[in-house]
Structure 1
Amino acid sequence: MSQQETVTKLLRNYQAGNKEAVNELFELLYRELYNIADGQRVKWQQNNTLNTTALLHETYIKLVDQSHKSWESRAHFVATASRAMRHILINYARDRNRLKRGGDWKKVTLGQLEFSDATNELLSGTRIETIVLLDEALSKLDVIYPRQSRIIECRIFGGLSIKETAAALGISPITVTRSWKTARLWLCRELDSGMKS
């Protein structure tokens, strides 16, 4: 049985009430999720206070504690895990900022942000504090265009490809591509105005 078939089987078992299936699913996808978590930490140049393993374990706890657990595919599960990682990193950044009262925050200019389909990394080379600005922008985008907000989450935080994002959100790859372009422009403008204030 291929990994994809095993994942599908575990998702079905979990939805049928087998609570152990989520443990098996997490174990099966552990390396992939670990790489995503590690990529997020590197992307945000975070110190070792919240290491990759801790981030991944907090993600597991957050996924298991969810009241609504209806994952339709591997991509959907990974997108959900990526979103959980985003929330954990945002909370961590806010807590750090509260502790330091903003003393260690540095402004990041728009020129420091990279928007590259080739590398599939929207915000490489920035500090973790920038994640708070991104979260605020994504919250605004979610109110106006929820689909574009989910696409940004999948692509930036999950590192999902266009096809994987389409599968996770149940839309066509061409819709993801169009929305990705529009959302990046909106996000760029929003981050630029947020950094100026």
Structure 2
Amino acid sequence: MVDGAADEITQLLHAWAGGNADALPRLLAIVYPELRKIAARRLSGERPDHTLEPTGLVHEAYLRLAHRPDRHWENRTHFYAVAARVVRAVLVDHARSRGRIKRGSGAVSVELTEASAGVPPPAVDLLDLDAALQELEAIDATRARIVELRHFAGLSNEETAEALGISVSTVKRGWLAAKTWIRRRMEGQTRQP
């Protein structure tokens, strides 16, 4: 994203958090296309009969973001970091509401991917991924946040590093270690990350 647009997002976020209702429509016009791309990427690995569309995911995430009492985002990256948690929550809530509790019973599956990977890895069950992320968070909260930001918000390594206040190399190592740990956990092997 161009620095000017990132600066404008930051200014609009501050204005909105400060109570300027006129900032919200302007902010939405700028972030909606990016949120739509994130939603489309998250849903691209879904089964064909999945009932949640990217537009529905974005609208539900937007409603949850708009009604948060803690709308004091520092900048664009912080906003997308919060959006990652909201997108994850919407997807998990949707999977639960569809009654998909166990793997193999039509559960929602998603891909844990690199943003720029050419070959998609195998799909994983969203509810299992959420459970694994909760376990990982108890063991290593930073690595869990890296997965959340990279996977659910589609942030780059650099943006993830900025959002977490860590180095890009730490993000890369954490992303690789977290993906490995999650894969092992999903295969029934539990090891410390």
Fold agreement, TM-score > 0.5:
yes
CA gap 1:46/1:67 in 2 versus in 1, 3 angstroms:
farther
Query: How many residues are treated as equivalent by the alignment?
Result: 187
Percent of aligned positions that are identical? 34
CA gap 1:20/1:142 in 2 versus in 1, 3 angstroms:
farther
Deviates more, 1:39-48 or 1:147-156: 39-48
Deviations 1:50-69 (A, max 9, x none): 22111111011100111222
Deviation for aligned residue 1:101: 8.3
The amino acid across from 1:17 in the alignment is G
Does the 8 Å contact 1:82/1:153 carry over to 2? yes
The amino acid across from 1:39 in the alignment is R
Deviation for aligned residue 1:29: 1.0
Structure holding more helix per residue: 1
Gaps of 5+ in 1: none
1:140 equivalent in structure 2: 135
Output the TM-score relative to the length of structure 1: 0.81
Does the 8 Å contact 2:84/2:148 carry over to 1? yes
Gaps of 5+ in 2: none
Residue 1 (structure 2) pairs with residue 3 (structure 1):
no
Structure 1: distance between partners of 2:20 and 2:131 = 37
Structure 2: distance between partners of 1:117 and 1:41 = 13
Residue 144 (structure 2) pairs with residue 156 (structure 1):
no
Equivalent position SS for 2:68: coil
Aligned ranges 1:91-110 → 2 under 5 Å: 91-97=93-99, 104-105=105-106
CA RMSD in angstroms comes to 3.0
2:39 equivalent in structure 1: 37
2:58 equivalent in structure 1: 56
CA gap 1:171/1:76 in 2 versus in 1, 3 angstroms:
same
The amino acid across from 1:31 in the alignment is P
Output the TM-score relative to the length of structure 2: 0.82
Does the 8 Å contact 1:45/1:126 carry over to 2? no
Does the 8 Å contact 1:142/1:149 carry over to 2? yes
